[in-house]
Amino acid sequence: MENSEIAKILWEVSELLEFKSENPFKIRAYQKAARNIEGLPLSLEESYKSGGIKALKEIPGIGEAIAEHIEEIIKTGDFKKRKELLKEFPKSFLEMIEVQGIGPKTAMLLLKKRGIDSIEKLEKAIKSGALKGLVGFGEKKEQNILQGITHKKKTIGRHLLSEAHEYADLIINQMGKIKEIDQLLAAGSLRRQQETIGDIDILATSKNPEAVMHAFVKLPQVKRILAQGPTKSSVILKNEMQADIRVVDPKCFGAAAHYFTGNKLHNIKIREMAVKLGLKISEYGVFKNDKQIAGKTEEEVFESVGLSYIPPELREGSDEFEAAKKGNLPQLINYPDIRGDLHIHSTYSDGANTISEIAEFAIKMEYEYIAITDHTQSTRVARGQTAREIIKELEHIDELNSSYKNFKILKGAEVDILPDGTLDYKDELLKELDVVVAAVHSRFKMKKDDMTKRICTAMKNKYVNIISHPTGRIIRRRPPYELDMEEILKTASDTGTYLELNSQPDRLDLSDVNCRRAKEMGILIAINTDAHTKETLYFMQFGVSTARRGWLEAKNVINTNPIAKLMKLLYAKR
């Protein structure tokens, strides 16, 4: 059983408990454990097999009770508590709550008054006018819900980038050991680092395709085989994702890699360009009068239509061709450009590791600095600190800093933006911090104008450096707040406030599209992890992927700077 499956069960239980209005601290414990597990580099099942429940408890953020739950999940493949809760609330009903505009209360009302317990029934009811007369329902609300349903339907069957990576990496790793395989590549939306992924598409070259097919369908991640052919096979993995493998001729590996990486629109456009030049591009190569003239590498494919190599993350069928023609493609940011992380939680609030544990880990990652940004008093469920409590933390950081060479812990906080746009700490205290990350953690459903004003007011505070997870979306779970994004970007630009690209795989907030808008407006981005465990500092890779999709270069990102320049940027507003 993979970690992501265990995490998924815990997430689901937390959602079910939320629905029952259970104690928020209890709900939080499940969420915290799920989140920690998602980021673990080691297999929980293996740890458990070698060290029992004791080994589980050594993992940060996993206490006695959760360790026992995990034991049950590993042993039985499920969790009794989850099954009991699901009896009360069927799965289809839970999906319904993920539709924007349907909160737990509304869902309960729909169930009791109209017997509606699924998205399908809800859609039908709205379209047939069956909700007329129901308290709180009107045409506008119904239209909003219909929109929410359309949005929700798009994410069904899609998986987070982190989950797709976990499986693809395992598969590539094992297949890579097979001596019959020469070249191996995970193509598709995964290679383009899209925020959610449908299927995993693997390409290989081999002199013995049948041995490759045989090994592929026998992988331990495979749940069932859909098709096994001589050069192509499809399976369903244990996380319900589909994975396909194709063995192609080495002569056309580049053309196949390009074709199966997509996206569709990009492929259509490049084929049209080829036709104008009297060429034909397909997954089998670049052809002139039925004779293959290129296609061994992707570079050759681009060259054949007079383009420089376009990185996969930019292949969206938009203006990447124009940029490639003019030699204007961005020098995309790379993971090693990152010199530190400016949004991390420690045991001073809801993080699982002490500051010195985090620092040691960051030093191993070759970071030059980190900022510790624990929650503030208003976010009580996350053990937010009062003004008095954080003073101790700041002193502790000073102490630790005196023992490091060439590494610095910045003093920070993730300060709540209160509904009126004021901050959870007074300016006198904010002044003492090196990094003020400000974020909305409450009243997500404010009206568009009010929410926009709330965040803009916070940006006008001269101590606020970074707006964290600016739109508040949780991929597949919660839509963004209603926001006037243009106004937010304009105010960020006017006030010199940086915007965060939060690297949590279910946030990736700002999105790629918004990152690109920010770049065009000259706004600098901080790519942070918002890590609650030291291991999840590695989520940085997903932030960098999204930044690349947003055309960002190292110079657009503040935490690619050496410490002296970074400090200047952090104090620029004061």
Whole-angstrom distance, CA of residue 312 vs CA of residue 305: 17
Q: CA-to-CA distance for 411 and 402, rounded, in angstroms?
A: 14
What's the closest the beta carbon of residue 444 comes to Zn ion, in angstroms?
12
**Which region, judged by CB under 5 A, interacts with Zn ion, from 122-130, 221-229, 283-291, 527-535?**
527-535
d(CA 331, CA 414) in angstroms, rounded, equals 31
Answer whether the bond into residue 510 is a cis peptide, omega within 30°: yes
Nearer to Zn ion, 119 or 439 (CB): 439
Buried b (16+ CB within 10 A) or exposed e, 365-388: eebbbbbbbbbbbbbeebbbbeee
Radius of gyration for the alpha carbons in the chain, expressed in angstroms and rounded: 25
Closer to Zn ion by CB, 125 or 439: give it: 439
Closer to Zn ion by CB, 258 or 375: give it: 375
Nearer to Zn ion, 201 or 414 (CB): 414
Asked if 434 touches Zn ion (CB under 5 A), the answer is: no
Q: Whose Cβ is closer to Zn ion: residue 189's or residue 379's?
A: 379
Cβ atoms of 241 and 199 within 8 Å: the answer is yes
Element holding 214 (H helix, E strand): helix 209-217
Instruction: Mark residues 400-419: x for contact with Zn ion by CB under 5 A, - for none.
Output: --------------x-----
| Nearest to Zn ion of 509, 512 (CB atom) | 509
- Interstrand relation of 181-186 and 200-206 (parallel, antiparallel or unpaired): antiparallel
Residue number with CB closer to Zn ion (10 or 439)? 439
Of 170-178, 205-213, 353-361, 431-439, the segment contacting Zn ion by CB under 5 A is 431-439
Closest CA to 414 of 477, 474, 502, 353: 502
Closest CA to 341 of 375, 363, 371: 371
DSSP of 523-548: --EEEE--BSSGGGGGGHHHHHHHHH
Nearer to Zn ion, 274 or 531 (CB): 531
Stretch that binds Zn ion, among 125-133, 257-265, 325-333, 526-534 (CB under 5 A): 526-534
How many other C-beta atoms lie within 10 A of the C-beta of residue 273?
17
Calculate ∠ Cα 382-383-384, nearest 5°: 95
Minimum gap (Å) between residue 77 Cβ and Zn ion: 33
- Of the candidate spans 223-231, 307-315, 404-412, 522-530, the one that interacts with Zn ion by CB under 5 A turns out to be 522-530
Q: Which stretch binds Zn ion (CB under 5 A): 37-45, 509-517, 523-531, 562-570?
A: 523-531
φ/ψ (deg, to 5) at 534: -65, -35
Residue closer to Zn ion (CB basis): 424 or 530: 530
Least distance to Zn ion, CB of residue 542, Å: 15
531 phi/psi in degrees, rounded to 5: -65, 140
Work out how close the CB of 560 gets to Zn ion at its nearest, in angstroms, rounded to a whole number. 21
In the complex, the smallest distance separating the C-beta of residue 437 from Zn ion, rounded to whole angstroms, is: 7
Structure-token pair, residue 124:
């039908």
18-47 footprint of Zn ion as x/- string (CB under 5 A)? ------------------------------
Q: How far is the CB of 386 from Zn ion (least distance, A)?
A: 18
Q: Which residue lies nearer to Zn ion by CB, 195 or 416? A: 416
Both tokens of 226, joined, read 């859909």
**Shortest Cβ 375–Zn ion spacing (Å):** 7
Cis peptide before 353 (omega within 30 of 0): no
CA atoms of 403 and 566, how far apart (whole Å)? 21
Q: How far is the CB of 471 from Zn ion (least distance, A)?
A: 12
Please give the residues from 435 up to 454 whose contact with Zn ion meets the rule CB under 5 A: 439
Q: Is 530 in the site for Zn ion (CB under 5 A)?
A: yes
CA distance 255 to 250: 10
CB of 345 to Zn ion, least distance (A): 6
Taking CB under 5 A as the binding criterion, the range among 222-230, 324-332, 434-442, 472-480 that sits at the site for Zn ion is 434-442
User: Does 12 engage in binding with Zn ion (CB under 5 A)?
Assistant: no
Q: How far is the CB of 473 from Zn ion (least distance, A)?
A: 12
Closest CB to Zn ion among 199 and 530? Answer: 530
- Minimum Å distance from CB 344 to Zn ion? 8
Q: How far is the CB of 414 from Zn ion (least distance, A)?
A: 5
Question: Which stretches of 222-263 are DSSP H helices?
Answer: 253-261
Nearer CB in complex with Zn ion: 266/375: 375
**How many residues bind to Zn ion according to rule CB under 5 A?**
3
Exposure string for 114-140, b = 16+ CB within 10 A, e = fewer: eebbebebbbebbeeeebeebeebeee
424 φ, ψ (degrees, to nearest 5): -75, -15
Place of tokens 């449908």: 198
Q: Compare residues 70 and 439 and give the one whose CB is closer to Zn ion.
A: 439
Q: How far is the CB of 349 from Zn ion (least distance, A)?
A: 9
Classify burial at 32, counting beta carbons within 10 Å of its beta carbon; exposed 0-12, middle 13-18, buried 19 or more. Answer: buried
Give contact residues for Zn ion (rule: CB under 5 A). 414, 439, 530
